[in-house]
Structure 1
Amino acid sequence: MNRLALGLLVVLAPAPALGADWPQFRGPSGSGVADDQKPPVKFGPKENLAWKVAVPPGASSPVVIGDKLILTAFENNKLFTICYACADGKELWRADAKATKIEPFHPTEGSPAASTPVSDGKTVVSYFGSCGLIAYSLEGKELWRYDMPTAVTNNEFGSGTSPVLADGLVLLARDLSKDSAVFAIDLATGSQKWKAERKYQSAYSTPLVWTDSGKRVLVVPGMTTLIGYDLLSGKELWAINRMAAVACTTPVAYKDTLVYAGWSPGGADFKLPTFDEILKQAGDEKLGYLTKEGAQKTAFGNFFDNNDPNKDGKITPEEWAINMKVLASGENRAVALKPGGKGELAWTYTKHLPYVPSPIVYRDKFYLLKDGPLLTCLDAKTGKPVYEAERIKAGARYYASPVAANGHLYVASLDGTVAVVAADETEPEVVHAVKLPEPVRATPAIAHNTLYVRSDKFLYAFAAKK
């Protein structure tokens, strides 16, 4: 994701081992939905808290496989995959990724442990932009590794994509500042099945495997694009252009269609300030370039270093123009794809789109969560609004994506607020909200009738008391 932009703002996967598991980023099939589960509606540090344990830093979401919960973390300049017991949060094992070099990342907004692991119920696979893919048994034994060069993203923000599984393949979309590609790796052996080179630069979305009229398609969001690849060969099948310049969100399968929404600054609904305007805010007009000290006086904030490519302590008009060109290349919109393998659109929608949080389809409604916080609900089949940009009583900014179960959406914000919103209503009603002491940037998991929330310091398990 372009960090300048953030600074200016503030699958069908294999069936999990248990029906109640949460095996990948956004759970079963990458949908974010576990409607057979009944996590508590009311919870907090003193209500329906099953357990709470300290965890090392990281932005990856937890996955739940049987009686184990697994996440990744970054501590003491090392990258780990860590397994906890679902019953009480006890740490069962941790495996060092043994990365020789840590990828560049934003110290407060990013993390080299941002990618969520994935599991088929027997094997768990972690991805680190610093070193590649590593497979472990559920007991923590390393099975194989697929080494990759250290990732470098635009503006050195860090990796964001997570791997997914389908048909015995580990699928990874690795869009970087150069050498972007999609990989298909054999889950059993760690050998490469295919690799599709991509001309696009940095993106942070997790792909989705979609069954389109019986054909398995890997859908990969990217810079200004949404592309479908044949799952068996990696051949490009179709491409949707005129999408958001910065791809952070994940597609969702809905019945026989696929829906996707993306947004980034620079589109028609968010004009970025000019360089002269930024210089004036910073008090750097006489210098003719932006200084780090001056940037602190602007919405640019602490994203200066990520946008100073040669690290000379100044951002010139030329460097600014490069960033603006990238952002101006996209078009912000939500789309629904018809089945049939041609990439044809069923409907589009262009307002109130999410930046980082992925949209969710729940009970035939398509929900979009935008910083504010503003919640929009569309009919998933037609794209027609049920309600638009309704302000809800929750935190203002979001990196975590909404998840859903038992008639409710669960949304977690960067200020630590976790809110529960009633679904299937003509307007959003927050039926419960609690503010945790720490920020929440990882998407929560729902499994075994429990809501698992990872904050910047702790892992919480909320379950209704029996």
Structure 2
Amino acid sequence: MKKLIAILALGLSAGAGMSADPALAWPQFRGPNGSGIAEGQKPPVEFGPNKNVKWKVAVPSGFSSPIVAGDNLVLTAFEDGKLYTIAYNRATGKEAWRAEAPAKQIEPFHKTEGSPAASTPVTDGTRIISYFGSCGVFCYNLSGKELWRHEMPTVSTPFDFGTGVSPILADGVVVLVRDENKDPKILTIDAATGTLIWVKKRESKSAFCTPVVSDTPAGKQIIVPGYGRMIGYDFKTGDEKWTVIGMPAAACTTPVVADGTLFFAGWAPGDDVKLPSFDALLKESGDEKLGYITRDGLEKTPLKGFFDNQDFDHDGKLTRAEWDEALRIVSASKNSAFALKLGGSGDVTKSHVLWKQTKGLPYVPSGIVCEGQFVLVKDGGLVTAYDTKTGKAIYEQERAVANGRYYSSPVAANGHIYFACLDNGAITVLKAGADDPEVVARNPKLNERVAATPVIADNALYVRTAGFLYAFAEKKK
């Protein structure tokens, strides 16, 4: 039932030791190339509140993951009604600097499942780019000095869930997808000057996933899942080059490219989840005489706490028309995991999809390609691994990691994959590439929510919880 409630709110976020280029050890959401993999790193597999803690520091609220930028870890945060980009020293955890992103209005967001600081920054080793749905894109140098800003109006997301997408950088260009109610678009900005390069309108309003940039036989492209379809855009012009039809109603997961093949897996409610009719919801609320559902009435239903997300026009009434619109969005969901051969044009749904599966699909956490397997985790601690070449299930929906919900995406290093549970911060480590889910370590709970994807650098695992940033590293003997 908790999963259903969260779904509706969405409408539905290097060598060993210091790398040779520490500024790019983990430069964006999900690390190098958005892969979730830290080559050459050896973070600990056993850790917890009282084990292998290098340092721990209190941090303001936010769902964004840290990135590695120079000597610091950098994240976005929300504190006392203000938005910040904050840097913490990698060696000590001490705050190095913070820069406010002034917003005239904070975007609407769900108070427990969303955040106005959900977007992970990105760096090219010289600059740090942060995005806030409330006010736009901000560029800083490694010392926190603002270099430029590209201001944008406050975003309006489906069901007022809040922003989920993160910016990415490629060839000196910032790429941002802004799927929202009023003016969905994709745009690119010159990272050196802040000048807008191109902007293209999108049809998708309900998507929360970060794009990926990849070289293809047809040139460099930006690949973006969204409502109804995945689109490949020409990197230089923004022209649509190809499309795959059939996406989750609210795409939350990010694609990954490995060996010239794109992998994607995502789920949102559709035919596999039967939502109540308006009449059934109205009866359960006790508001039948009114003909609409009140805030107090909704508190008597499984949608308790989600009135503002369903009351689209914020008039204090959840009407039949509003609920029918929610059902319409949900009914369009097409869920799957698939591998796609890059380089096609037009509708490549039938011509370039190499394989497709429908089990073990994740809701929020993105899949990871590791040692020939496409590994997925879904709520309940269920893990699935598909062979990247054939799509054959190696194992399917095995209850291998901590039971609970999952928002953060799995990350990997040194032959191990790390899975962080949203509800209590329990992190399970599995052996990568195994024929069955082989548990390496079941670490104790951190006793806080972990929505942010962990970071691997400096032979350490950096984990952001609801109130702290941890550095876990093996103690030197």
TM-score under structure 2 length normalisation: 0.93
Unaligned runs of 5+ in 1: none
Q: Name 1:66's counterpart in structure 2.
A: 70
Q: CA deviation at 1:275?
A: 2.2
Q: Name 1:5's counterpart in structure 2.
A: 7
Q: CA deviation at 1:9?
A: 11
One-letter identity of the residue aligned with 2:236: L
Output the CA distance in 2 between the equivalents of 1:288 and 1:351.
Answer: 39
2:152 aligned to which of 148, 151, 166:
148
1:418 aligned onto 2:427: yes
SS in 1 for 2:284: helix
Q: Residues 139 and 168 (structure 1 numbering): CA distance in 2 closer, same or farther, change over 3 Å?
A: same
Q: Residues 148-175 of structure 1, C-alpha deviation per residue, up to 9 Å, x if partnerless? A: 1111101111100000011110000000
1:460 aligned onto 2:470: yes
Q: Name 1:131's counterpart in structure 2.
A: 135
Q: Residues 20 and 136 (structure 1 numbering): CA distance in 2 closer, same or farther, change over 3 Å?
A: closer
1:329 aligned onto 2:332: yes
| Pairs within 5 Å for 1:343-362 | 343=348, 344-362=352-370
1:377 aligned to which of 373, 385, 393:
385
Output the CA distance in 2 between the equivalents of 1:78 and 1:305.
Answer: 22
Output the CA distance in 1 between the equivalents of 2:283 and 2:393.
Answer: 40
Q: Residues 332-355 of structure 1, C-alpha deviation per residue, up to 9 Å, x if partnerless? A: 111211133334211111122111
2:457 aligned to which of 447, 457, 461:
447
1:438 aligned onto 2:440: no
SS in 2 for 1:366: strand
Q: CA deviation at 1:7?
A: 5.2
Q: Residues 390 and 284 (structure 1 numbering): CA distance in 2 closer, same or farther, change over 3 Å?
A: farther
Output the CA distance in 2 between the equivalents of 1:403 and 1:270.
Answer: 29
Q: Residues 352 and 163 (structure 1 numbering): CA distance in 2 closer, same or farther, change over 3 Å?
A: same
SS in 1 for 2:154: coil
Does 335-344 or 299-308 show the bigger shift? 335-344
The answer as to whether partners of 1:373 and 1:395 remain within 8 angstroms in 2 is yes
2:285 aligned to which of 269, 282, 286:
282
Q: Name 1:223's counterpart in structure 2.
A: 227
Q: Name 1:108's counterpart in structure 2.
A: 112
| Pairs within 5 Å for 1:232-381 | 232-265=236-269, 267-342=270-345, 343=348, 344-381=352-389
One-letter identity of the residue aligned with 1:252: V
| Identical counterparts, % of pairs | 55
1:427 aligned onto 2:436: yes
Output the CA distance in 2 between the equivalents of 1:320 and 1:9.
Answer: 11
The answer as to whether partners of 2:266 and 2:363 remain within 8 angstroms in 1 is yes
Q: Name 1:25's counterpart in structure 2.
A: 29
Q: CA deviation at 1:16?
A: 9.2
Pairs aligned (count) = 461
TM-score under structure 1 length normalisation: 0.95
Q: CA deviation at 1:214?
A: 6.2
1:167 aligned onto 2:171: yes
Q: Residues 364-406 of structure 1, C-alpha deviation per residue, up to 9 Å, x if partnerless? A: 1001111112111100121110011111241411111111111
The answer as to whether partners of 2:22 and 2:68 remain within 8 angstroms in 1 is no
SS in 1 for 2:305: helix
Q: CA deviation at 1:427?
A: 2.0
The answer as to whether partners of 1:59 and 1:442 remain within 8 angstroms in 2 is yes
The answer as to whether partners of 1:69 and 1:85 remain within 8 angstroms in 2 is yes
Unaligned runs of 5+ in 2: 13-18
What value does the CA root-mean-square deviation take over the aligned residues? 2.1
The answer as to whether partners of 1:224 and 1:247 remain within 8 angstroms in 2 is no
2:161 aligned to which of 157, 160, 172:
157
Output the CA distance in 1 between the equivalents of 2:377 and 2:275.
Answer: 21
Q: Name 2:405's counterpart in structure 1.
A: 397
Q: Residues 256-276 of structure 1, C-alpha deviation per residue, up to 9 Å, x if partnerless? A: 1101111101x2322222223
Q: Residues 62-94 of structure 1, C-alpha deviation per residue, up to 9 Å, x if partnerless? A: 001232100010011110000110001000100
Output the CA distance in 2 between the equivalents of 1:85 and 1:171.
Answer: 27
Q: Name 2:204's counterpart in structure 1.
A: 200
Q: Name 1:39's counterpart in structure 2.
A: 43
Output the CA distance in 2 between the equivalents of 1:339 and 1:128.
Answer: 31
Does 99-108 or 173-182 show the bigger shift? 99-108
The answer as to whether partners of 2:11 and 2:158 remain within 8 angstroms in 1 is no
Q: Residues 17 and 191 (structure 1 numbering): CA distance in 2 closer, same or farther, change over 3 Å?
A: farther
One-letter identity of the residue aligned with 1:456: A
Output the CA distance in 2 between the equivalents of 1:425 and 1:464.
Answer: 25
Output the CA distance in 2 between the equivalents of 1:8 and 1:452.
Answer: 27
Output the CA distance in 2 between the equivalents of 1:62 and 1:232.
Answer: 29
One-letter identity of the residue aligned with 1:464: E
Q: Residues 254-303 of structure 1, C-alpha deviation per residue, up to 9 Å, x if partnerless? A: 211101111101x2322222223323433444443322223223221211
Q: Residues 237 and 20 (structure 1 numbering): CA distance in 2 closer, same or farther, change over 3 Å?
A: closer
Q: CA deviation at 1:428?
A: 1.6
Does 320-329 or 212-221 show the bigger shift? 212-221
